[in-house]
Amino acid sequence: MSPFTTHVLRIATGRAETVTDLTDACADFLSGAAAGRDGLLNVFVPHATAGIAVIETGAGSDDDLLTALHHLLPADDRWQHRHGSPGHGRDHVLPALVPPHATLPVVNGRLALGTWQSVCLVDTNKDNPDREVRLSFLG
C-alpha cells in the first residue's frame, strides 16, 4: 500500500445552492486507500467559490447553514466582484468562512467522525454546476 493515495470526485451540484454530503464517498475511498490503517484524509475543493464543512445533515442543519450564509453573505449588488449572477461576488467570499478543505482523522481505515458529523461540499455558486473534490489519504 502506498502511504499517499488520491482520488477526484466529480459532483454535479446543479443550479441551486447546495450542501452535498460526501461522507459515503469518503468512506468508499478509504475502504481501498486506507485498508485498515490509521492516517489522515484531506478533502479539498479546488474552486474559488465552494467550501468543505463538517456538520450534521438531515435534521435541517444543512438548510440552516445555507440560511446563515444568506444572512452573512447576501446575494445582492454590494459586492465589488460583479461578473456572473447577481450577488456572485459573495460566492468568492464563501471560502473565507467555509474553507475549501478539511483534514480528518482516519482510524483503522475509517473516518473518525462524531456521531452526527458529516463531510459536506458547500456550494452557493449557481453559475458553476460541476465541481471536483480531491480526496487524499496519508497513512
Considering the chain, what percentage of its residues have pLDDT values greater than 70? 99
| pLDDT attached to residue 61 | 95
| pLDDT attached to residue 3 | 87
| pLDDT attached to residue 86 | 85
3-state secondary structure the chain: CCCEEEEEEEEECCCCCEEEECHHHHHHHHHHHCCCCCEEEEEECCCCCEEEEEECCCCCHHHHHHHHHHHHCCCCCCCCCCCCCCCHHHHHCHHHHCCCEEEEEEECCEECCCCCCEEEEEECCCCCCEEEEEEEEEC
Asked if pLDDT for residue 1 goes beyond 80, the answer is no
Q: What is the pTM of this model?
A: 0.95
Asked if pLDDT for residue 122 goes beyond 90, the answer is yes
Domains along the sequence of the chain with CATH: 4-138 (2.60.120.460)
| pLDDT attached to residue 49 | 96
